[in-house]
Structure 1
């Protein structure tokens, strides 16, 4: 961690209403055809204060009008015993797009509310989105996750990963920043700081994947001086070459504390192209309140959709950024961490420790796809990067 699609989603086209009912979208009959399209994504949205199973999260449905128009109201409706019921609604943006969510399965539809020109499409998100290929809800242990014990290295000469900063309790993974009882003080830029132990684990021993979605439901730490993160790395990270061959570091989300002047949330991608000079794409997430709030008191789902063309980053289903450079073509493993890096030391308050980040669940939906001109995926070479 540094300082700061192939979308396997159903695409359905919709048409104007074939009937002549004047009762509006909730009563009319809609025919599938032209006019609007939807992309059905996995369960990527679930904000809330309490832990909950991964299957309680909502599907994400992205709708788009074929003729871009801003301000058109669209509804997501579910077919039930009482007929079609509205479960979400939104207005299209300047590109004719709207994002909707549904925690329901079964027959559903996205419709417009324009009685003169209603559009609609039917689908079942449970059938039309990819199935999960890995889920960890941390019921009673960290399972096969391993501490990334890299010692004092890189931008963390005053802290190190340690098993003592990782625990599972009450169905939550808790990563912490603790005082290191075996060390004295660390000198950084002429100042003295206590050494720290960090919760820092990875899935490299049991799960890697290439292309698809990765998501984690996280409640972040409140104080500054450490940053919580959910990220991915390839085995070839740091080797000069195109990211399609060497991989990348994909920082799905980082949080730098409630009082950070720039809002605290970032998403980045790092890779090393031919020539050996590291490249970076990403930035602070502008105006994070538009995607949620109370990052340290509520759980939110942070996800990346990774295709051979781009990364799409989301918070509870809302797109926060697209990055089309440095797209990894290599298998990546997952990392969860709460790190106190040297560049944050001036913000650490000793009396605030221990500091915690809680993870409710992690899930992957793999959607493998062969890159153009390639016969099969390569695992990559080298060892996991020390970032």
Structure 2
């Protein structure tokens, strides 16, 4: 089953124009343009809290507690705003599509302007709907875009599996330098096929990984439905590796749209 959302005519035309790189192979199946006044919670699940008690700090020693309040999460001028703030608590926001059917294979993209400042860690990523091959990282993770503020403009794409993950020093990924990532909007995307994933920024491929002959689920569990996640973490093992600059907050992660394309059945 494929989850679909009806687009306005203008939104559909804009979506097709931004997908020129893929329009001969894919068709648009879902989009959120964030043009309303409130987040569509029939699609997006709003995460609350700091992960405790089962996963405090979300497994990365992150500092933030997620909230769905306007100061942290809102629609503004046709954009999704995820804002991390410093106060008595460090607060931010995280939303997922985990409560609707996921997608297996396709082109997944967003147009966004990233926050700056040491300690910021925005991400656009995907996790499996079900732990088909076991708990993380056995069932896989696809990171479409990550950026840590102490490496300003260095945008990363990675996968995590049982065989390939950062905890054992085997993570597979690469990055592309985007000088104005925090002052201009850019398109961040992956194309995920049965035996290959390709990462793009503004239509330019900068990384790909292919399933190798003999690979099993430990190497390539990426063959079942995944859902989308958008969040702005603060600190943590990677984002906070060089500290957190309190003067950088509030910090805004601005998302213009998120879109999903898939290949037609006869393609």
TM-score, normalisation: structure 1: 0.53
**Among residues 18, 21, 26, which one is paired with 1:57 in the alignment?**
18
* 1:202 and 2:96 matched: yes
| Higher normalized contact order (CA 8 Å, seq sep 6+, divided by chain length) | 2
Q: Give the equivalent residue in structure 2 for 1:367.
A: 263
Structure 1 residue 58 displacement after superposition: 4.9
* 1:173 and 2:80 matched: yes
Q: Is the 8 A contact 1:252 1:267 kept in 2?
A: yes
* 1:230 and 2:124 matched: yes
User: Which aligned pairs between 1:341-352 and structure 2 lie closer than 5 A?
Assistant: 341-343=235-237, 344-345=239-240, 346-352=242-248
Structure 1 residue 217 displacement after superposition: 0.5
**Among residues 21, 28, 35, which one is paired with 1:132 in the alignment?**
28
Q: Give the equivalent residue in structure 2 for 1:147.
A: 46
Structure 1 residue 281 displacement after superposition: 3.6
**5+ unaligned residues in a row in structure 2: which ranges?**
1-12, 212-218
For the aligned residue pairs, the C-alpha RMSD in angstroms reads 2.8
Q: Relative to 1, partners in 2 of residues 1:280 and 1:365: Cα closer, same or farther, differing over 3 Å? A: farther
* 1:301 and 2:221 matched: no
TM-score, normalisation: structure 2: 0.75
Q: Relative to 1, partners in 2 of residues 1:352 and 1:363: Cα closer, same or farther, differing over 3 Å? A: same
Structure 1 residue 215 displacement after superposition: 0.5
Structure 1 residue 55 displacement after superposition: 4.2
User: What is the total number of aligned residue pairs between the two structures?
Assistant: 229
Rounded to whole Å, the distance in 2 between the matches of 1:136 and 1:314 is: 20
Q: Relative to 1, partners in 2 of residues 1:237 and 1:368: Cα closer, same or farther, differing over 3 Å? A: farther
Rounded to whole Å, the distance in 1 between the matches of 2:105 and 2:223 is: 8
Q: Is the 8 A contact 2:110 2:259 kept in 1?
A: yes
Q: Relative to 1, partners in 2 of residues 1:265 and 1:207: Cα closer, same or farther, differing over 3 Å? A: same
Q: Give the equivalent residue in structure 2 for 1:267.
A: 157
Question: 1:351 is paired with a residue of what secondary structure?
Answer: helix
Rounded to whole Å, the distance in 2 between the matches of 1:172 and 1:299 is: 11
Q: Give the equivalent residue in structure 1 for 2:175.
A: 285
Q: Deviations over 1:206-245 (max 9, x none)?
A: 241101111111110121211111101003459449x9xx
Structure 1 residue 312 displacement after superposition: 0.6
Q: Give the equivalent residue in structure 2 for 1:253.
A: 145
Q: Is the 8 A contact 2:159 2:173 kept in 1?
A: no
Q: Which has the larger radius of gyration?
A: 1
Q: Give the equivalent residue in structure 2 for 1:383.
A: none
Rounded to whole Å, the distance in 1 between the matches of 2:208 and 2:262 is: 19
Rounded to whole Å, the distance in 2 between the matches of 1:134 and 1:280 is: 33
Question: 2:160 is paired with a residue of what secondary structure?
Answer: strand
Q: Deviations over 1:67-104 (max 9, x none)?
A: xxxxxxxxxxxxxxxxxxxxxxxxxxxxxxxxxxxxxx
**Among residues 204, 217, 228, which one is paired with 1:318 in the alignment?**
204
**5+ unaligned residues in a row in structure 1: which ranges?**
1-51, 62-124, 182-194, 370-387
* 1:161 and 2:51 matched: no
Rounded to whole Å, the distance in 2 between the matches of 1:267 and 1:332 is: 16
